[in-house]
Amino acid sequence: EAERTRKPSWLRARMPGGERFEQVKRNVHEHRLSTVCEESHCPNMGECWNNGTATIMVMGSVCTRACRFCAVDTGNPKGWLDQDEPENTAHSVEMMGLRYIVLTSVDRDDLDDFGAGHYADCVRAIKRRTPHVAVEALTPDFDNINEHVETVVDSGLEVFAQNVETVERLTERVRDPRAGYKKTLDVLEHAKKHNPKVITKTSLMLGLGETEEEILETMDDLRAIGVDIVTFGQYLQPTRNHLPVERWVTPEEFEWYREKGLEKGFLEVPSGPMVRSSYRADRVFEKNNLG
Ligand code: SF4
Ligand code: SF4
């Protein structure tokens, strides 16, 4: 057990650094901004911030779902939303001096539109204030209601993401019962059909007991509905009450999945032990001249 829970050497945090990193950090602290990067002690902060990429969470910190890998608190926010959030978020993006912002959120099954309208307001506010900043929205599934997916896709964002998190067989074990493998695929498929210019993206955590074959099958399912980017990272158990890590996937295996993914036609496949869905999202974007 101890062997299995001890982290391998390749998961040691990297030292943050770089000129732009220092500048973003100064701005964040001076204006007391909150980012997922800092709050989750993300090991990629040096790299991401140094390249002008950060992640901000919107729609509160209490989720109506309870996925078994996720450390976010579960509860019922009873329709609460911060009406100033779109403007404040846009202000934060401007203050930080970013080039690429990832917006993420909790699931809001308590809201009539599952939060789609508020999400879109946040994107629009950012685009009004800083039109040069690329926006990626890592969204909830909006209970698969096409109208809500469209609301977000039409907000002016560049990248629309919904995470499949794991392979089909493990979905029930890993994700909240209201989430679904097919449900996520349908959301991504609809987003792409609705606006083919929008980049679609999804992420998987590895080390939950999935097989190589299942990972390759998942990539095929994703390509079949036009998903452009898939990311692979190591699952880490946030507390002892969460799902255990079944296996530490080696850096070589991650690299192999990246190559397989590129062969299958994904635009980019960020894949590595410390990759998060938002890891260096700007690079993927710029490499493909999508701006
Ligand atoms: Fe965490 Fe998202 Fe699942 Fe909510 S829906 S518990 S925020 S992973
Ligand atoms: Fe922030 Fe995501 Fe980069 Fe981590 S991977 S530093 S959370 S943008």
Ligand 2: residue whose CA is nearest its atom 2: 278
Ligand approaching nearest to the C-alpha of 36: 2
Residues 6+ apart with CB under 8 A from 276: 42, 44, 203, 231, 233
For residues 235 and 207, the answer to whether their CB atoms sit within 8 Å is: yes
User: In terms of C-beta distances under 8 Å and separation of at least 24 residues, what long-range contacts does 142-146 make, across chains too?
Assistant: 142/113, 142/114, 142/115, 142/116, 142/187, 143/109, 143/114, 143/178, 144/183, 144/186, 144/187, 145/114, 146/190, 146/194
pLDDT digits (tens, 9 = 90+) for 140-190: 999 999 999 999 999 999 999 999 999 999 999 999 999 999 999 999 999
Output Rg (C-alpha) for the chain, integer angstroms. 18
Would the CB of 192 count as within 6 Å of ligand 1? no
Instruction: Please indicate, yes or no, if residue 281 is contained in any of the structural domains.
Output: yes
Taking the CA of residue 102 as reference, the ligand 2 atom at the shortest distance is 8
Q: Poorest-confidence range of 10-19, 130-139, 143-152?
A: 10-19
Average pLDDT over residues 260-279: 95
pLDDT at 1 over 50: no
Please, which pLDDT band fits residue 4 given cuts at 50, 70 and 90? low
Average pLDDT over residues 210-235: 98
Q: What is the CATH number of the domain that holds 272?
A: 3.20.20.70
Ligand approaching nearest to the C-alpha of 178: 1
Instruction: Please indicate, yes or no, if residue 184 is contained in any of the structural domains.
Output: yes
Give CA separation, 50 vs 17, 20, 21, 22, 97, in Å: 7, 5, 4, 8, 11
Residues with CB under 6 A from ligand 2: 36-37, 40, 42, 44-45, 48, 53-55, 102, 276, 278-279
ipTM score for this prediction: 0.98
pLDDT at 288 over 80: no
**Residues paired with residue 202 on neighbouring β-strands, in sequence order:** 230
pLDDT at 2 over 70: no
Would the CB of 28 count as within 6 Å of ligand 1? no
Would the CB of 108 count as within 6 Å of ligand 1? no
Please, which pLDDT band fits residue 15 given cuts at 50, 70 and 90? low
Q: Which domain holds residue 232?
A: 20-287
Domain count, the chain: 1
**Rounded distance between C-alpha atoms, residue 247 and residue 290, angstroms:** 36
Instruction: Please indicate, yes or no, if residue 208 is contained in any of the structural domains.
Output: yes
pLDDT at 291 over 90: no
Instruction: Please indicate, yes or no, if residue 2 is contained in any of the structural domains.
Output: no
pLDDT at 41 over 70: yes
pLDDT at 7 over 90: no
Instruction: Please indicate, yes or no, if residue 122 is contained in any of the structural domains.
Output: yes
pLDDT of residue 10: 87
Ligand 2: residue whose CA is nearest its atom 6: 45
Average pLDDT over residues 94-101: 95
Hey, which of 41, 45, 277 would you mutate to test ligand 2's pocket, going by the most ligand atoms within 8 Å of its Cβ?
Answer: 45
Spacing, Cα 268 to ligand 1 middle (Å): 25
Query: Average model confidence (pLDDT) for the chain?
Result: 94
Ligand approaching nearest to the C-alpha of 67: 1
Instruction: Please indicate, yes or no, if residue 107 is contained in any of the structural domains.
Output: yes
pLDDT at 84 over 70: yes
Instruction: Please indicate, yes or no, if residue 7 is contained in any of the structural domains.
Output: no
pLDDT at 48 over 90: yes
Instruction: Please indicate, yes or no, if residue 3 is contained in any of the structural domains.
Output: no
pLDDT digits (tens, 9 = 90+) for 190-221: 999 999 999 999 999 999 999 999 999 999 99
Please, which pLDDT band fits residue 6 given cuts at 50, 70 and 90? confident
Closest CA to 191 of 180, 200, 182: 200
Dihedral sign, CA of 24, 25, 27, 32? positive
